[in-house]
Amino acid sequence: MSGSFLRKIRIIVSIIFFIPTTFLFADIFSLVPPSLSNGIVYLQFVPSVLKFAVLLSFSSFGFIIVLALTILFGRVYCSLICPLGTLQDFVNWIRGKIKKRNKRRFEFLKEQKLLRISLLLIPIIVFVFGSSLAINLLDPYSIYGKFAGNYFRPIMVGLNNIAAFVSDRFKLYAVYGYDLKAFILIPFIITTALFVFVVVMSWIKGRLYCNTVCPVGTLLGYVSKFSLFKIVIKNEECLSCGICAKECRANCIDSDNKTIDTSRCVMCFDCLTNCPTNGIVYDFSFRKQQSNNLTIEQSKRDFILKSSLFLFSLSTIAAQVKKKIIVTKPSTKPVFRKNAVSPPGSVSIEKFNVKCTACHLCVSACPTQVLQPSFLEYGFLGMLQPRMDNIASFCNFECKICSDVCPTGAILPIDLEKKKLTQIGKAIFVKDNCIVNTQKTDCGACSEHCPTKAVHMVPFEGKLVIPETRDDYCIGCGACEYACPTKPYKAIYVEGNRIHQIAKKNVEQKKLEEKINYKEEFPF
């Protein structure tokens, strides 16, 4: 197979993966059903590993397929499947279009082995100690997800709303407007910073992120050292012209010494395409394997140890910060939420913090937009993970889409009937803020919206009725908090359960058995 053919296949396949994955995060019309969504992200490495760790089922074998592909063909995950990889290739391509003169711009760079291994080990260590924060900031799929959700989704909304505006102008009502119900600034800034970091690196040095920072890249890189097919330099045909090195976005070809650092090769096949002879080929790796020098010096050990210590100490700081967060501000009476509310299926905040990589696929998929990125509501270690934002919206009683789409198993698949009894938090009534109490007029918006009537109305002064909450029936969906009209602060709010509980089914009332005589006269 010729190099340019391989390159074309690479480009086509990467687009085939890239577009549907991107669309998932911008799908404001809920066009993609969860089953298809699962299929689209099936091969994403980190989510699949995490889901496998929870479920141990075929539904999460994606990462094993990726490992097998790597053993056979090298780091094809990085060039074909990884959306952040494709995005970087796109950035490169744009740069090539803009700066045509400076097209062949890459050069061989020395491997930053210490950095790579540290950044592979730190997420693993932090994960073992119960947080996915490092993964959530480094996993390429999750970074891309955050980026796509934060940027492409609003763009989609904008386009839709322009179309809706035009259609409404002509009274066609063919396209409906879409409201983004919340904009959470700090997660947006963090996402933007991550994105700029990756884009700048790729603008300057090609796949530098993939070859120094990305833990998936490092892991698959070292696996690919043993792969069956490899890019190899044929000494007898090579002219030592160095074109391949200048084309190599992975900066891994040392044309002077005629060696390739396979661990960093992302299988873009650009070198093959541009080689004037057949001096560089994609072939069986007949050559003797180079020994992997993985011995870590004392200084490197120190570095890893210290950086993990640093992260642990940060988590302690976060534990202090968490208690001070005010989610809803005081009306006449200040209201504090001690725990954020995690989505049904996440079982407990601790488990959620371990498994969620904050890819925000659920944020994009949530039809009511109640799932929004958090900042420190879950604590430092849970940064950016989605939480239930009952100011923006509330959890639909009949819906469990987040649990269906979650690729990591952070939100476990949950049966709808079970979801309807899963108590993710409890409603707390603040009488001092309630309109019925302060203004002596009827309201009851909270009770109206309550799907289980955990919030019901009881006699108050005169003919008035006032809300009363019943923990047994409450599932913490947040409809009451959302509906509560007290401004700017709520009179009812949901306090998150650190460990989700099971609510009781509201069966206190027997089935209505009214005998109606349809022939009877009207009562008026």
Partner 1 sequence: MNRRDFFRKSLQAGLLTGAAAAFPGIYGNYFEKTSRILPAAFDLVAVKGGEADVMFDEAIKALGGMKNFVKQNQKVCLKPNVGWDVSPERAGNTNPKLVSRVIKHCFDAGAKEVLVFDHTCDNWRRCYSNSGIEKAVKDAGGKMISGDTENYYQDVSVKSGKRLTSAKVHEVLLDSDVFINMPILKSHSSTRLTICMKNLMGVVWDRGYWHSNDLHQCIADYSTYRKPDLNIVDAYYVMKRNGPRGVSVDDVTTMKSQIVSADMVAADAAAAKLFGMEPDDISYIKIAGAMGVGKKDLSSLNIKRIIM
User: Which positions touch partner 1 (CB under 8 A)?
Assistant: 30, 164-165, 168, 171, 173, 176-179, 367-368, 396-399, 435, 439, 441-445, 447-453, 456-457, 463, 465, 483, 485-487, 506, 509-512, 514, 516, 518-519, 521-524
Report the residue number, 160 or 192, with the smaller CB distance to partner 1: 160
CA distance 85 to 144: 9
Report the residue number, 50 or 443, with the smaller CB distance to partner 1: 443
Least separation, in Å, of the C-beta of 492 and partner 1?
12
Spatial CA neighbour of 409 closest among 50, 44, 88: 50
Least separation, in Å, of the C-beta of 401 and partner 1?
11
Least separation, in Å, of the C-beta of 444 and partner 1?
3
Least separation, in Å, of the C-beta of 170 and partner 1?
12
Least separation, in Å, of the C-beta of 331 and partner 1?
11
Report the residue number, 77 or 493, with the smaller CB distance to partner 1: 493
CB 328 within 8 A of CB 490: yes
CA distance 333 to 28: 37
Cβ-based neighbour number of residue 326 at 10 Å: 10
**What totals of helices (H) and strands (E) does the chain contain, helices first?**
22, 10
Least separation, in Å, of the C-beta of 472 and partner 1?
13
CB 399 within 8 A of CB 368: yes
Report the residue number, 202 or 486, with the smaller CB distance to partner 1: 486
Which alpha helices (H) appear in 110-184, and where do they start and end?
Answer: 113-128, 133-138, 140-169
Report the residue number, 59 or 396, with the smaller CB distance to partner 1: 396
b vs e for 342-351, b when ≥16 Cβ sit within 10 Å of the residue's Cβ?
Answer: bbbbbbebbb
Least separation, in Å, of the C-beta of 463 and partner 1?
8
Least separation, in Å, of the C-beta of 385 and partner 1?
23
Cβ-based neighbour number of residue 397 at 10 Å: 16
DSSP 355-383: H-----HHHHH-TT--EEE-SSTT-GGGT
**Peptide linkage before 140 cis (omega within 30 of 0):** no
Least separation, in Å, of the C-beta of 469 and partner 1?
13
Spatial CA neighbour of 301 closest among 42, 164, 121: 121
β-partners of residue 280 are 233
Least separation, in Å, of the C-beta of 150 and partner 1?
21
Least separation, in Å, of the C-beta of 394 and partner 1?
9
Report the residue number, 250 or 366, with the smaller CB distance to partner 1: 366
- CA distances to 34, 121, 261, 365 from 215, rounded to whole Å, are 28, 8, 17, 27
Residue 169: partners with Cβ closer than 8 Å, 6 or more residues away? none
Report the residue number, 112 or 396, with the smaller CB distance to partner 1: 396
| Helix, strand, or coil (residue 97) | helix
CA distance 28 to 369: 10
Report the residue number, 111 or 471, with the smaller CB distance to partner 1: 471
- CA distances to 69, 442, 498 from 328, rounded to whole Å, are 49, 23, 19
Report the residue number, 297 or 513, with the smaller CB distance to partner 1: 513
Report the residue number, 236 or 521, with the smaller CB distance to partner 1: 521
Report the residue number, 13 or 465, with the smaller CB distance to partner 1: 465
Least separation, in Å, of the C-beta of 415 and partner 1?
18
* Phi, psi values for residue 73, rounded to 5°: -115, 0
CA distance 343 to 402: 8
Q: Report the phi/psi class of residue 386: left, alpha or beta, with left for phi > 0 and alpha for psi in -120 to 50.
A: beta
Sign of CA dihedral 466, 469, 474, 476: positive
Type and span of the H or E element at 353: helix 349-355
Report the residue number, 61 or 460, with the smaller CB distance to partner 1: 460
Least separation, in Å, of the C-beta of 379 and partner 1?
30
CA distance 316 to 310: 10
Report the residue number, 278 or 439, with the smaller CB distance to partner 1: 439
What end-to-end distance do the CA atoms of the chain give, in Å? 88
- What is the DSSP code (8-state) at residue 215? H
